[in-house]
Each structure stands twice: as C-alpha cells, then as structure tokens.
C-alpha cells in the first residue's frame, strides 16, 4: 500500500526520501540517519519488528533532536498499532501522516535494547526464540502455535531472583512480562489497562506453572482473565531485574534478544508518536 500513500504525500508537497530495508538492522540505521539529517517525522512501514528497529534507531539520537515516529502497520500482529489505535487503510494512513497529532509515550529498555510494547523473560522468551529461528513456513500463527507446543514440552521453571523496584522475590519463574502497553503477541491482553505514558511498567509474572496451568493461563490471556489465576501476579513498577543460574530467554516487541539475565526499566516520555486526531 506504500506507493498509493507516497503518491498522496508527494501531491501534498511533502518530500519523502525512502529506504527499503533488505537486511536486519537496516531499518534502524535508516531511521537514525533520517533523524540526524533533520527529519521531522520518521515513518516505519511493516510489522512490529520494523517498528522496533526504527524505535531503536531514533533512541540513538539525542532527545532534543529526536523526530516523531509514525508507524504504518503492515505485519501480522501489529500490536503497537493496536495499542495506539493506528489506522491500516491507506486513506486513513494518509490522514494520519498529513494531519495527525503527536503523543509523547514512554519507552521500555531491556539490557540496553529499547521496546515500545512488552518485554518478556522465561517461557515466552524461549517461545519467541524458537519462532524467530524456524523457517517461515505455514504462516506466523502456525509457527507460533508450534513454538508454544515445543516450549511447553521442554520448559522447566528455573529458580530466579526477581527484583521489582528494589524488592526481591525468589521463585520458580515461568514467565515475566514487563508491559508498556496492554496488548502483545497474537492478540494477548497481557496487562489490561496498561498505559504507554504513565511512566511505569505493568509487570505480570507467574510462578511454577505446570503444563496444564500454562495452557490455562495462555488461553485466558486473550481476554485478560489470566490475572484471576492464583499463580499470576501483577505489579506496577519502574525497574525490574531477573537473575537466575539458568540463562533465561528474553524478547522485546516480539524480537528475540538471546538468553541471560534481564535488567528492565522504563524511560518516561522518551518518544513522540503520530496518532490520529480525534474527530469532534
């Protein structure tokens, strides 16, 4: 849909230099380069992975000269777009880019990597790692379902030290999600009511889930009812540390970041994003 959108922008007298990312990391490099060249808005078109690359490119630029990020969802899940109510139809996207307003949001950071929606440690980190490494055969939903089942069969909740705003909890950690928005993954309502501009992380974690527990919690996340499960805890904090003798899978915005310990924090009011102006 980009050619039609670009045509409308050029017709409105807007200069639209563009880069088509051909390799991992190129979208972030292009966003950083555009920011340093004085762009007022950087438009990222693609999935949440493309958005995450652009975000990290912009965060490498000093805040005083950081342009706004406009995201045009063209991926499978489009969780960031869902959280901010961003349009998908080309005419509405053109309206967004021509007349949209700026909303300043917080940005999460895990081990130095920035994210906009949710970072995960443990079970879902391993799940994302599998899904990202497997061949793209059968569609994203099929791949993630297969990755879920494979992780369910092999994952064991390790002993972990979870430190939330300086308060330590020892547990057999199944997964921990540090949410800047309420949605993530394939429509999972992981942290209902979480806001991307309140200066806080909504942390949802589970302890020592059995396989049956894990399936039950996973199914309930589509409606947000997982928070009623007795092994699920939610806390609102500004920083999180997760440590374990067993390296833990980590992801951010659905992108695999490897295994290890996790240090997560919120960076308040770090980025302007372009959203639709509400009609009176």
pLDDT tens, 16-68?
A: 999 999 999 999 999 999 999 999 999 999 989 999 999 999 999 999 999 99
Cα–Cα distance for residue pair 42/59, rounded to 1 Å: 12
Mean pLDDT score across all residues of the chain: 93
Q: How far apart, in whole angstroms, are the C-alpha atoms of residue 39 and residue 97?
A: 14
Helix (H) or strand (E) holding 56: helix 48-59
In angstroms, the CA 36 to CA 62 distance is: 9
Mean predicted confidence (pLDDT) in 218-239: 96
Per DSSP, 122 falls in state E
Biggest CA pair distance of the chain:
59
Tell me: the pLDDT tens digits for 80-106?
998 899 998 889 999 999 999 999 999
DSSP strands (E only) in the chain: 41-46, 68-73, 101-110, 113-115, 118-122, 159-164, 167-179, 201-207, 232-237, 239-244, 248-252, 255-260, 262-275
Q: What does the alpha-carbon distance between residue 9 and residue 32 come to, in Å, rounded to a whole number?
A: 22
Q: At what angle do helices 140-154 and 123-133 cross, to 10 degrees?
A: 130
Q: Which domains does the chain have, with CATH numbers?
A: 2-107+270-275 (3.40.50.10330), 115-266 (2.60.200.40)
Q: What is the dihedral of CA 7, 10, 16, 22, to 10 degrees?
A: 10
Q: Around 88, how many Cα atoms within 13 Å sit in the side-chain half-sphere?
A: 12
Q: What pLDDT is stored for residue 232 in this prediction?
A: 98
Is residue 280's pLDDT more than 60?
no
């Amino acid at each position: 849909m980009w050619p039609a959108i670009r045509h409308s922008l050029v017709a409105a007298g807007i200069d639209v230099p563009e880069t088509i990312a051909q390799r991992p990391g190129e979208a972030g490099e292009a966003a950083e380069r555009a920011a340093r060249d004085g762009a007022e808005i950087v438009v990222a078109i693609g999935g949440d992975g493309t958005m995450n690359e652009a975000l990290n490119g912009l965060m490498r630029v000093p805040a005083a000269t950081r342009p706004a990020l406009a995201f045009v969802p063209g991926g499978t899940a489009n969780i960031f777009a869902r959280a901010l109510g961003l349009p998908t139809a080309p005419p509405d996207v053109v309206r967004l880019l021509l007349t949209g307003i700026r909303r300043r949001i917080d940005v999460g950071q895990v081990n130095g990597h920035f994210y906009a929606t949710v970072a995960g440690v443990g079970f879902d980190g391993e799940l994302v790692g599998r899904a990202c490494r497997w061949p793209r055969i059968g569609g994203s939903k099929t791949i993630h379902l297969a990755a879920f089942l494979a992780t369910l069969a092999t994952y064991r909740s390790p002993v972990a030290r979870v430190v939330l705003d300086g308060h330590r909890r020892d547990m057999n950690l199944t997964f921990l999600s540090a949410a800047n928005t309420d949605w993530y993954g394939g429509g999972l309502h992981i942290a209902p009511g979480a806001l991307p501009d309140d200066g806080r992380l909504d942390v949802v974690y589970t302890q020592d889930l059995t396989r049956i527990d894990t399936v039950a919690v996973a199914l309930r996340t589509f409606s947000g009812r997982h928070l009623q499960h007795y092994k699920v805890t939610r806390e609102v904090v500004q920083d999180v540390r997760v440590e374990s003798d067993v390296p833990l899978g980590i992801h951010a915005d659905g992108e695999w970041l490897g295994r290890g310990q996790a240090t997560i924090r919120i960076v308040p009011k770090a980025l302007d994003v372009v959203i639709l102006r509400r009609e009176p």
